[in-house]
Amino acid sequence: MPRVPEPADDTAQRFASFEGSYRIGVDDRVQITVWRNPELSVTAPVRPDGKISVPIIGDVEAGGRTPSEVAEIIKKRLSEYIRDPNVAVILTELRSHEFLSRVRVTGAVRTPRSIPHRQGMTVLDAVLEAGGVNDFASPNRSKLYRKVKDKTEVFEIDLGDILKKGRLESNYLLRPGDVITVPERLF
């Protein structure tokens, strides 16, 4: 089975739940604990704008930050009201990675879908989950789009050859966040 070059920033590793490296995202839930101040300790969802609401200080930008960074921001803002606050931020639900750890199949397939990524998943697996190509597809012009660092790489997929001839040269292993597009034929 062909392999697309592995990017340096392995997506699976980025979503590892290390407190020091996990970046909080939309729809995650965090528990904010302020020692000796239970009335300020809350569990909060991260809103679509990336913010959480904290008693007394209001909204805090949590999206894209680590729990430690958010705790430091809350501590600094609470210090205007409380002497030397001790703040902990703990992730209680990791939901944002569910959005980021999916594979999308779009275009001329029977059921365009967003599919949870599974280890070992290939282009063929994803296309079959999307119901296969439809009657208007031009499968040998399909493409795989992959975000690598700050750019998007594009890989040609000979999907017709995979489906009809069993040629697996472009049946790439998929990674979370990949997008497969199957264009329509030109009439």
Is residue 1 in some structural domain? no
Domain final residue pick, 62, 93, 124: 93
Is residue 187 in some structural domain? no
Q: Residue 174 corresponds to which tokens in the numbers above?
A: 């998929």
Residues 159/140, Cβ–Cβ less than 8 Å = yes
Is residue 48 in some structural domain? yes
Domain final residue pick, 73, 93, 113: 93
Whole-prediction pTM value? Answer: 0.54
**Domain match, 89 and 115 both:** no
In this predicted structure, what is the pLDDT of residue 117? 87
**Domain match, 106 and 88 both:** no
CATH number for the domain that contains residue 108: 3.10.560.10
CA separation, residue 48 to residues 24, 62, 63, 117, 156 (Å): 12, 11, 9, 23, 34
**Domain match, 134 and 163 both:** yes
| Count of structural domains, the chain | 2
**Can you give the residue range of the structural domain that contains 62?**
18-93
Is residue 10 in some structural domain? no
**Domain match, 34 and 79 both:** yes
**Domain match, 85 and 109 both:** no
- Average pLDDT on 122-126 reads 97
In this predicted structure, what is the pLDDT of residue 149? 76
In this predicted structure, what is the pLDDT of residue 134? 96
Kindly report, residue by residue over 145-175, the tens digit of the pLDDT: 998 877 899 999 999 999 999 999 999 999 9
CA separation, residue 10 to residues 6, 35, 36, 73, 138 (Å): 7, 36, 40, 29, 31
Residue tagged 């009809």 (tokens): 164
CA dihedral 19, 22, 28, 30 (to 10 degrees): 20
CATH number for the domain that contains residue 83: 3.30.1950.10
Domain final residue pick, 38, 67, 93: 93
Is residue 127 in some structural domain? yes
3-state percent helix, strand, coil for the chain, nearest multiple of 5:
20, 30, 45
Look at residue 15 and tell me whether its pLDDT is greater than 50: no
Nearest-angstrom CA–CA distance, 148 and 150 = 6
> What phi and psi, each to the nearest 5 degrees, are found at residue 6?
-75, 125
**Domain match, 112 and 76 both:** no
pLDDT grade for 22, boundaries at 50, 70 and 90: confident
Rounded CA Rg of the chain: 22
